[in-house]
Structure 1
């Protein structure tokens, strides 16, 4: 989620490293007299950062920077007189909730403190320290390691999707929990250790992965699908109806996506059709890639080539069924793709706009993840969310099944309270697969967690069918498959 507007005055040895460290979630304004440094900042952060060449002691320059709308102004020049004068102008003419400035001499520090400014002493200040002040609940652990954000301290938020989970159930990949601080006590983490709200957790691992983990722990997610990426990847087999491209255009119109990549086989007329669709729907940031490989390796190779994860992978439901006619192979393919690409997969069926969204409540594991995603998507879309609960007959349901049903209801109710969004509860009677499939035509989108699909032998599937998979396979509406939580983190 965007975290506010910040103005940085001075892009020297402190200011410029700070700009490099700060998350791009921040709306950033940078002021400096050096045009070359400002150009460097623009290349680093793109259009999301506004740069001003000028003297920040000027009231007009500060007005141009919009400091009245800023959450924080950070003054990082190495001139004590400049820092004091900027702070004085801010104090006299603007209302800024928070001002942080570098102090050089004791006299200068005293002057700044009289202006109600938070002071960082020049000999102790660092870009990392300032970054920690701004990002509050997430701190870079410095003084050890490489100083590349590979070690972070994060405070667990009460509404984090990782709160109240054991480390064994989270199954960290490419990161680890090093230590947990709880109520002034130090806990050496083990598999059975449960993460609790207000725990301070030191995490270690690959910096891009840690960023996502920190956001999960501190409940600071960006709008869907930016927690995964800002790109749509769509694989075109040649059997896709026009509605497939229309649905992609719809996704671009409602979600904050930046780029579209079409992958397709080198088949006669296919490139021309894609080009026609690109022009028709005005996909301005569209790329097309010809591949000789089938869907799975082609998509993964493109992910590696572009060096980032896509926000959504879009496949045509009808084309996928024709390409992979065997249901068991199709299930295995979708599961492995979601896990490897670490992003949602949309099986597009043309049932848009998404005005009514269903979350089939078929098992407790993964339900919170799917419900959270449906709620996060509602930031961009004003739709009605329904939780579909197939209730087994009380004559055949076991005590364990009855208890799981009640826990699922509690999970959905809790998510509704946390996000302050109403979720309609729909109870269905009878066979779970049939009742859910009968209800889905009344909706435009179904949101499902893919992480708990069961791999069964043929004879086992006849006796105990994998209910979530059968609902996805036969769904008459567009279906969003959420990757396993452990794949994302």
Structure 2
């Protein structure tokens, strides 16, 4: 042809419909071995060229002038024929034009990839269309991108820690909000954008993570730590064993758990359905942070080393939530320490964990005497009280909120003594340094309390 055209190999019922659509964009050369079918279609598609031939034969392709070829679409149910078409195009004619394969089976996928062929599965598309009709609030993109559910659209139906919060505060690593639809308007999100109930959002990211995020947006189901990553890595240290508390956590959190040994091999292999114990030994503490990519939570023992250098290293190098397991379990409650960098984040994480472990939660704020408080500190006090009131309104419950005039570290230590086996939750600004001259509140609290503590670096 003397103008751009598309080659369509195979003319079944679906492919005839495809021919109708493609011929609106480009002239089409259609190849099929059934002469009756070809003769019946010629009157309907006068601008298309039909070839009665075997698409898997190189002789057929030698009859064609491929100079203005735009793309090849091959649609046979036999994968061998589709592969032969791909091989001829790439190896015999050295064409780099797009090859689109309509595949009706799961086999030979890797072989198609070597020819850089784009695979589309009509059956999957049909199933997704049906599910989309039945479940209008959630759909996956299967014919764009990788087609592996790394792009989804979901309706926001439930209040959660993700809604009504600036996207920049979510600290999402393995997923992002690509678009927000609100009141029939498209919003291109930035760090200041927020997701609201009744929005539709387009999410991109790790497919497993997106499935968990969609559950949060649809149902408000607590998913910690899956919004940060799919795996939990626990570092076992024989003198301060965390195996039992790790097993307790694995029975409550929806994540994959891996137990890694520190310096020495594990004394015994564990047989636990949710706890993997590979023969992995970490010699340097910082190596654990590069062990796996999709980590949502680290679990460490209370090392108790000289000058607490290991705990300082964790605060400095960890970029995901980490739990210092001190054996204070099963958790009877959760304590949110509002003397944190992000009070909203602490409160949200605390409420989420209280739902997961089905326990009560308390909120603690330590303040300076009014005469010694700076203006910014007074603003923080009012902000904390307002946040608690907002959450009481949203969740229709009375929050146990304690404000006490004490040093944040001393006050938290004294308060937690009355609530053993309560998990303490706080967060901190990762860039803040631990020094004698400027006390690091989160570090000092985690170091000195007897409770297990969850810290989230921001």
Decide: shared fold, TM above 0.5: yes
Residue by residue over 1:293-326, the C-alpha shift from the partner in whole angstroms, topping out at 9 and shown as x without a partner, is 323314642x35xxx546x533211x2x31xx44
Q: Name the structure 2 match of 1:49.
A: none
Is the Cα contact below 8 Å between 1:359 and 1:370 reproduced in 2?
yes
Contact 2:366 2:403 in 1 (8 A): yes
Aligned-pair CA distance for 1:209: 4.4
**Aligned ranges 1:298-317 → 2 under 5 Å:** 298=288, 300-301=290-291, 303=292, 309=295, 312-317=297-302
State the alpha-carbon separation in 2 of the partners of residues 188 and 350 from structure 1: 46
Residue 402 of structure 2 is matched in structure 1 by: 426
**Equivalence for 2:89:** none
1:194-252 deviation per Cα after TM superposition (whole angstroms, max 9, x unaligned): 433323233334434444444454454355556667865332233215xx444334435
Aligned to 1:165: 165
The yes-or-no answer on 1:476 pairing with 2:457 is no
* Rounded Cα–Cα distance in structure 1 between residues aligned with 2:391 and 2:352: 11
Q: Deviations over 1:342-392 (max 9, x none)?
A: 4x42211122232133111114x4333333333233335343311111122
Residue 414 (structure 1) aligns with: 390
In the alignment, what sits opposite 1:262? 259
Partner of 2:417: 441
1:290/1:140 CA distance change after superposition, 3 Å: closer
- The aligned residue for residue 195 of structure 1 is 195
CA distance in 1: counterparts of 2:174 and 2:186, whole angstroms: 23
The alpha carbon displacement at 1:479 in A equals: 0.9
Q: Which residue of 2 aligns with 1:297?
A: 287
The aligned counterpart of 1:207 is 207
Distance in 2 between the 1:221 and 1:414 partners? Answer: 20
CA-CA distance at 1:160 after TM superposition: 3.1
2:266 to 267, 271, 280: 271
Note closer, same or farther for the CA distance 1:421–1:294 as it changes in structure 2 (3 Å cut).
Answer: farther
Counterpart-to-counterpart distance in 1, 2:359 and 2:378 = 30
- Aligned twin of 2:334: 357
Query: What is the alpha-carbon distance in structure 2 between the residues aligned to residue 229 and residue 179 of structure 1?
Result: 22
5+ residue gaps in structure 1? Answer: 1-121, 485-489
**Among 330, 337, 359, which residue is 2:311 paired with?**
330
| Distance of 1:380 and 1:170 partners within structure 2 | 20
The normalised TM-score by structure 2 is 0.61
Q: Confirm or deny: 8 A CA contact 1:230 1:256 kept in the other structure.
A: no
Q: CA separation in 2, counterparts of 1:163 and 1:139?
A: 20
Contact 2:212/2:223 (CA < 8 Å) preserved in 1? no
Q: Which has the higher contact order (CA 8 A, sep 6+)?
A: 1
Gaps in structure 2 of 5+ consecutive residues: 1-121
Deviation at 1:333, TM superposition (A): 2.3
Distance, in Å, in 2 between the alignment partners of 1:165 and 1:385 is 22
Paired with 2:446 and 2:182, the residues of 1 have a C-alpha distance of: 41
Shift of the 135–373 alpha-carbon distance from structure 1 to 2, 3 Å rule, reads: farther
Partner of 1:398: 374
Query: How far apart in 2 are the matches of 1:230 and 1:189?
Result: 25
SS of residue matched to 2:363: strand
Q: Give the secondary-structure state (helix, strand or coil) at the position aligned to 2:387.
A: helix
Q: Taking structure 1 as reference, are residues 438 and 453 closer, same or farther at Cα in structure 2, changes over 3 Å only? A: farther
Indicate if the aligned counterparts of 2:328 and 2:452 stay in contact, CA closer than 8 A: yes
Alpha-carbon spacing, 1:470–1:133, altered in 2? closer, same or farther (3 Å): farther
User: How many angstroms apart in 2 are the aligned matches of 1:376 and 1:346?
Assistant: 15
Q: 1:452 to 1:292 in 2, by over 3 A?
A: closer
- How many angstroms apart in 2 are the aligned matches of 1:133 and 1:468? 49
- Contact 2:259–2:275 under 8 Å retained in 1: no
Deviation at 1:137, TM superposition (A): 2.8
Cα distance between partner residues in 2 of 1:289 and 1:185: 53
Measured at CA, do residues 335 and 155 of structure 1 come closer, stay the same or move farther in structure 2, by a change above 3 Å?
Answer: farther
Match of 1:8 in 2: none
Does 1:248 find its partner at 2:246? yes
Instruction: Indicate conservation of the 8 Å contact 1:385/1:422, yes or no.
Output: no
Shift of 1:142: 5.7
Indicate the residue corresponding to 1:6 in structure 2: none
Instruction: Map Cα deviations across residues 102-123 of structure 1 (whole Å, 9 max, x no partner).
Output: xxxxxxxxxxxxxxxxxxxx99
Give the aligned partner of residue 99 of structure 2.
none
